[in-house]
Amino acid sequence: MIRSATPLLAMAALAIAAPAHASEGAAATPAWVMLAYLVSGILFILALRGLSSPASSRQGNMYGMVGMAIAVVTTLVSHPPSFERLVDDGAGDVAFAAAIDWTQMGFVLAAIGLGAVIGIVTARRIAMTSMPQLVAAFHSLVGLAAVLVAAAAFLNPGAFGILGADGLISPVSRVEMGLGSAIGAITFSGSVIAFLKLNGNMSGTPILLPARHVINLGTLLAIIALTGYFTIDQSPWIFWTITILAFVIGFLLIIPIGGADMPVVVSMLNSYSGWAAAAMGFTLQNSAMIITGALVGSSGAILSYIMCKAMNRSFISVIAGGFGAEASAGGDAAKVDRPWKRGSAEDAAYMMKQAESVIIIPGYGMAVAQAQHALREMADLLKKEGVSVKYAIHPVAGRMPGHMNVLLAEANVPYDEVFELEDINSEFAQADVAFIIGANDVVNPAAKTDKSSPIYGMPVFDVDKAKTVFFIKRSMGGVGYAGVDNDVFYMDQTMMLLADAKKMCEDIVKALAH
């Protein structure tokens, strides 16, 4: 969360103070200001480090909040909204002197207060299952803020101190301005589509436009070419064309991406928002924004790489086509009638109570059903019976990186019971029960055996090696986001628990209690 909010807060606060650069310039920045920004940067690094683990996430958030508070206060104190007025020194000489514009300062403080209220209310009311949508919304605001800052700098370059001796915007500033606006616009429109898909307002199925690769490549090349031309001609039509094309390409890049790729999309947009903030930091000549944007951009890029590696996908292939786009057309057609066994809550309760070890694999279906609390209650009852219970989290489970970790943390699942794929996959061969709740593609053995499958090569959990498998899903009619049938459904040791995930867990809890 702090990685998404940091560039937005920095951009909003620092953009307001930008007019001070015209009179002071970057070289005149006081040493204490640079030191304060350095401290903020260090705190942001500590925040990212803390957020890498659920156990230290609270401390990481605190570091981030303190760092942002220092950056905002430093900016307001060192570059308050001001205006120039004539001052008589008493000796008959009149000169211009800067004075704080308290009216504008009031607007700034009011905006900060309004944003704080909105943030507090949103944080208290938002459901943990809706966290991916909230993150996508944050990214869209960061992108929009970058576009607005770039537009303000283009329309009033004198206030930003980016005019050259010839009265034109310096070529370097034009590149920064064009890139910042383009990346921000892509982030905004792409995040809007991601939000709509995650929130259910738009189908998660890939929307494939004719000749989409040609259109996307042509639009991106046009943006690059216009940005280059912008350095020799600062005509308004060039800047606004870059911005409009970037808005368009943001939509075009995300609509062909299906639901299974949403974790990568969220982390990718997170990276984009950071680079947009860094580009605007150069335009504003503000080191805090450059540091913050670079941290967010690089961490988001690394996370995107990790997610793509977890899916055995290249970043380019995700952006170009969308995971499962081709499979969605034929995935259901490949599904055939095969025998399967149906189980009940009583069956699951009895067999898990007799087991020595149970490994739980949660997925997006658990999030949709909001079953995490009932699941934790079920696990607690099993542990009272002496059963070893562990949770296995796939890197791409859910709709954003860490989605399952957040939901389990909300249900007070102990951190030491939650394991990543590479840490627990070898234990399925010794597990008595693999309990799958709302996951599909991440347990599909086709990823290991079927070279024609769209998920081939993606690391998956070896649930097929467990002695018994319980698989909760609503019905046998649906398949995962990749559109691929799952052989686990039909294994001899598998019992399908067809019901809403929350209700099934609650029924198992009742059966365990008796």
The catalytic site residues sit at: 441
- Contact (Cβ atoms closer than 8 angstroms) between residue 34 and residue 65: no
- Distance of CA 98 to CAs 30, 87, 101, 113, Å? 17, 10, 9, 26
Helix (H) or strand (E) holding 471: strand 468-473
Sole residue written with tokens 């070529």: 171
CA-CA distance, 131 to 263, in Å (whole number)? Answer: 12
- Contact (Cβ atoms closer than 8 angstroms) between residue 281 and residue 430: no
**149 Cβ contact partners less than 8 Å away, ≥ 6 residues apart:** 11, 15, 18, 180, 280, 283, 284
Q: How is 127-157 classified by DSSP, letter by letter?
A: -GGGHHHHHHHHHHHHHHHHHHHHHHHHH-H
Q: How is 165-213 classified by DSSP, letter by letter?
A: TTSSB-HHHHHHHHHHHHHHHHHHHHHHHHHHHHHTSS-SS----TTHH
Phi and psi at 111, nearest 5°, equal -65, -40
- Contact (Cβ atoms closer than 8 angstroms) between residue 54 and residue 405: yes
> Residue 66 half-sphere exposure, CB side, CA atoms within 13 Å?
13
